Amino acid sequence: MDRSTPCRRALLLEAAALPLVTRRAAAAEVVVFSSGGLNAAYLAHVPEFQRATGHMLVSVQASSMGAAPDAIPQRLARGEPADVLLLAEGGLAPPATLGLVRPDSRVDIARSLIGMAVREGAPASARFRPPPRPPRP
């Protein structure tokens, strides 16, 4: 028996395992701020992404726009870190103006059109009604 065979086997096993070790060592936490409109589609792909890459996604759901403290632009303005933003186009302008996002990193991933119809001859009051308010507790 060739004395180098066990050594070769060990070397081959180590070489085969190296990508696994490197992959785990390179695994990272990726913070994703996602708005409501995209959240369901995003969450459906999280497990597959994590299995394929070894990266752990930390998901934060928030609104794309507005002055609420939990809105994505407000979170960024306060310095909350995010690696990926999934939000409506209008929500990207304030953080971009402040230099909080890389302008060259934008990728449009969806196009959303909202339509509305009113029956011909309907009274003006039927054309616009504010949404009902929930009862106060």
Give residue 74's pLDDT band: very low, low, confident or very high (50, 70, 90): very high
Task: Tell me whether residue 93 is in a domain.
Answer: yes
* CATH code for the domain of 79: 3.40.190.10
Measured distance CA(64)–CA(35) in Å, rounded: 5
Domain enclosing residue 35, as ranges: 27-102
Query: pLDDT (tens digit, 9 = 90+) per residue, 4-61?
Result: 554 444 334 444 444 443 344 467 899 999 998 888 889 999 999 999 999 999 999 9
- Does a structural domain hold residue 119? no
Residue 97 falls inside a structural domain: yes
Token duo for residue 43? 């969450």
DSSP state of 60: E
**Predicted confidence (pLDDT) per residue in 84-113, tens digit:** 999 888 888 888 888 988 888 888 888 877
For residue 83 the two structure tokens come to: 């690696």
Is residue 137 in a domain?
A: no
Identify the pLDDT of residue 15: 42
pLDDT class of 126 with cuts at 50, 70, 90: low
Task: With respect to residue 18, please indicate whether it lies within any of the assigned structural domains.
Answer: no
Whether the pLDDT of residue 123 is over 90: the answer is no
Q: What value does the mean pLDDT take over residues 115-127?
A: 71
The answer to whether position 84 is within a domain reads yes
The number of distinct structural domains making up the chain is 1
Q: How many CB atoms lie within 10 A of CB 86?
A: 21
Nearest alpha carbon to residue 114 among 86, 85, 88: 88
Residue 128 included in any domain: no
Judge whether 4 lies within some domain.
no
